[in-house]
Amino acid sequence: MRVGFIGDVVGKPGRKMLAKYLKQLRKEHGLDCVITNCENASHGFGVTPKNAGELLHSGSDLLTGGNHSWDKKEILEQMDTLPLLRPLNYPDAAPGSGYKMLQIGDKKLAVINLMGHYCMPMCDNPFVKIERFLPGLQKQNPDHIIIDFHAESTAEKQALFYMLRGKVDAVLGTHTHVGTDDLKIDGGSVYISDVGLTGCRDNVLGMESQIAIDRFLQGYGTHFDVPDTCKAIMQMVVFTLEKGCEEAYKLRIYDSGEIQRQEAYRE
């Protein structure tokens, strides 16, 4: 089974990159499943049902979320009907689900969305939550387990990986929008601290640079805004699952059509 995982899609520039490139990438890389983090897909904050539909139409099979999952209130009524996850460690009363079991051919793929503690909204401890959750999930006999860990701290992400190494097939970091170069396979599991954003690459985290600069200079600023025009990038980790993770690499697709590939290293 070959899976593609796309980091935070930020606004219209990010959605346009998926619409332009994803279906062709699915063919070229033989992807059986594509998972996309969509929590910034609608003008940088949350996702609307319309924009979720765009991402699915572009070639995504499942959408994951994070701390902005609830920003667009119109999505709440469709959290249980769309192939859309929110973090597992939000309160049980929250709409939607934190995991989904996908049937990919004759294999069962469990995808979990989890959120960190540091600099994030109030939620259950992700380490305790996942430790208690996995035994019940294992009773459903998944062939593979993937976690989108939406967290600020690289140390928190690394700690979760080392706790779960060999127990899950992938721990893939999202949220910071800045891609890291630590893609690796260790103990049969693939890990990266942050896949990186899909959206504007020539601004601050996909948002208008001047607004961020003003905040640092003045201590306050206006609402973050996604530029209408920018230089864009799409970032995706591709990995093959058999008995654990057999192969992994990261793709950076630029709006010019240039594609860069980075192979995972092995511990």
Active-site option among 43, 68, 144, 150? 68
Reduced 3-state DSSP string for the chain:
CEEEEECCEEHHHHHHHHHHHHHHHHHHHCCCEEEEECCECCCCCCCCHHHHHHHHHCCCCEEECCCCCCCCHHHHHHCCCCCEECCCCCCCCCCCECEEEEEECCEEEEEEEEECCCCCCCCCCHHHHHHHHHHHHHCCCCCEEEEEEECCCHHHHHHHHHHHECCECEEEEECCCCCCCCCEEECCEEEECCCCCEEECCCECCECHHHHHHHHHHCCCCCCCCCCCCCEEEEEEEEEEECEEEEEEEEEEECCCCEEEEECEEC
68 labelled catalytic: yes
What are the residue numbers of the active site?
A: 68
